[in-house]
Amino acid sequence: MSRVGKKPIELSDKTKVTFSKNILTVQGPKGILTRTIPPHVTLDISPTAINLVSKSDSKQDRAFQGLFRSLINAMVTGVNSGFERVLEINGVGYKVELRGRSLLFNLGFSHQVDFLLPKEVSAEIDRNLLKLTSIDKEILGQTAASIRQIRPPEPYKGKGVKYADEYIRRKAGKTGK
């Protein structure tokens, strides 16, 4: 049995959960999220918690139980408190500018890079910090990874786009006589 899948998902008073025709809808103060649940897993929904039960004891069904428990827990957390990812932009002349739904990056290329934000993600800029917020953890993580991929941090001076909590292992440069 999956140890993660056995744990119940606690629901607050403000969270409303509906499940019909294999579609789970979670509604909270920050918004609404939906997800299709496969037939490998059944949901036992009470007013205070959600329990997941696998259909059989096969390895695949137990794996689905743990996976969807984590995904549903992220949905409940997202509609109640939301998620945040902070990116740091390091380098001389490196900057980001917010223009409507797009971010305009100056990252040492011969051109500016225009990045269109998904509608579920909002951004704030404070000097060299880019704060992304969303209720959907998956979309937020993919957006942050795509932005980091534009100019990943290099190991010599640390220039580039990195997560705020990321540590970059530095290399020694050339040694002189």
Q: What is the pLDDT of residue 167?
A: 94
Q: Please tell me which residue, 6 or 94, carries the higher pLDDT value.
A: 94
What is the pTM (predicted TM-score) of this model? Answer: 0.89
In the predicted structure, residue 177 carries a pLDDT above the cut 80: no
Q: What is the pLDDT of residue 160?
A: 95
Cα angle 118, 124, 128; round to 5? 115
Q: How many percent of the chain have pLDDT more than 90?
A: 80
* Contact indicator for 132, 113 with CB cutoff of 8 Å: no
Q: Both ends of the chain: CA-CA distance in Å?
A: 62
Q: What is the mean pLDDT of residues 71-91?
A: 95
Instruction: Write the DSSP string, 39-84.
Output: TTEEEEE-SSEEEEEESSSSHHHHHHHHHHHHHHHHHHHHHHT-EE
> 141-174 in b/e burial notation, b at 16+ Cβ within 10 A?
eebbeebbeebebeeeeebbbbeeeeebeeeeee
- Give the pLDDT band (50/70/90) at residue 83: very high
- Give the pLDDT band (50/70/90) at residue 98: very high
Q: What is the mean pLDDT of residues 58-79?
A: 92
Q: What is the mean pLDDT of residues 15-32?
A: 94
Which helix (H) or strand (E) segment holds residue 85: the answer is strand 83-90
In the predicted structure, residue 3 carries a pLDDT above the cut 90: no
Question: How far is residue 78's CA from residue 83's CA, in Å, rounded to a whole number?
Answer: 6
- Give the pLDDT band (50/70/90) at residue 62: confident
Q: What is the mean pLDDT of residues 48-68?
A: 90
Q: What is the pLDDT of residue 2?
A: 56
Q: What is the pLDDT of residue 103?
A: 96
* Domains along the chain with CATH numbers: 3-80 (3.90.930.12), 83-163 (3.90.930.12)
Condensed to tens digits (0 to 9), the pLDDT of residues 120-159 reads: 999 999 999 999 999 999 999 999 999 999 999 999 999 9
